[in-house]
Structure 1
Amino acid sequence: MAIVAEAAAREILPRFRNLGVDGVSEKTSAIDVVTEADLLAERHITAALKARFPDALTVGEEAYEADRSVVPALADAELAFVIDPVDGTFNFASGSPLFGTILAVVAKGETIAGIIHDSVLGDTVTAIRDSGAYLRRRAGQVTRLAVAPAVPLSEMAGLISWLYLDEPDRSRISTNMAKIRMPFSLNCSAYEYWLIASGRIHFIGHARLMPWDHLAGVLIHQEAGGFAAKFDSTPYLPAETTGGIILAPDEESWRMIRREIIG
Structure 2
Amino acid sequence: MADSLPIPLTSPLSPAQKTSLINLVRRAAKAEILPRFRNLGQGDIRSKSNAHDLVTEADTAAEAMMARGIQAMFPLALVVGEEAAATNPELKGKIGEAELAFIIDPVDGTWNFANGLGVFGVILSITRFGKPVFGLLYDPLADDWISADEDGPAELTRAIGTTRPLTVSDGGDLGELAGFTHYNYLPQEAKPGVAKALPKLGRAMSLQCACHEYRTLARGGADFLFSGTLNPWDHAAGILICQRAGGVARMLNGDDYTATVSDGYILVASNEATWEKLRDHFAFLLDDAKA
TM-score tier, shorter chain, comes to over 0.9
Q: Please, what is the CA RMSD of the aligned residues?
A: 1.1
Q: Which moved more, 1:174-183 or 1:41-50?
A: 174-183
Q: Which moved more, 1:52-61 or 1:247-256?
A: 247-256
Q: 2:187, 2:228 within 8 Å by CA — same for their partners in 1?
A: no
Distance 1:165 1:109 in 2: 23
Cross-structure match for 2:68: 47
Cross-structure match for 2:274: 253
Distance 2:115 2:37 in 1: 9
Cross-structure match for 2:139: 118
> TM-score, normalization: structure 1?
0.97
**Which residue, 13, 16, 21 being the options, matches 2:42?**
21
Q: Which residue type is aligned with residue 94 of structure 1?
A: N
Cross-structure match for 2:157: 136
Q: 1:106, 1:112 within 8 Å by CA — same for their partners in 2?
A: yes
**Which residue, 106, 109, 117 being the options, matches 2:130?**
109
Task: Determine helix, strand or coil for the equivalent of 1:212.
Answer: helix
Deviation (angstroms), 1:246:
0.4
Q: Does 1:203 align with 2:224?
A: yes
Q: Which residue type is aligned with residue 181 of structure 2?
A: I
1:167-224 Cα offsets, whole Å, 9 max, x none, are 4421221221111222211010000000001100000111010000000000000000
Q: Which moved more, 1:78-87 or 1:66-75?
A: 66-75
> TM-score, normalization: structure 2?
0.88
Distance 1:257 1:228 in 2: 12
How many matched pairs? 263
Distance 1:78 1:234 in 2: 22
**Which residue, 88, 92, 98 being the options, matches 1:67?**
88
Deviation (angstroms), 1:69:
1.5
The alignment-based identity, stated in percent, is: 38
Task: Determine helix, strand or coil for the equivalent of 1:115.
Answer: strand
**Which residue, 89, 105, 115 being the options, matches 1:84?**
105
Cross-structure match for 2:233: 212
1:78-129 Cα offsets, whole Å, 9 max, x none, are 1110000000000000000100000001123321101011011101010011
Distance 2:99 2:225 in 1: 30
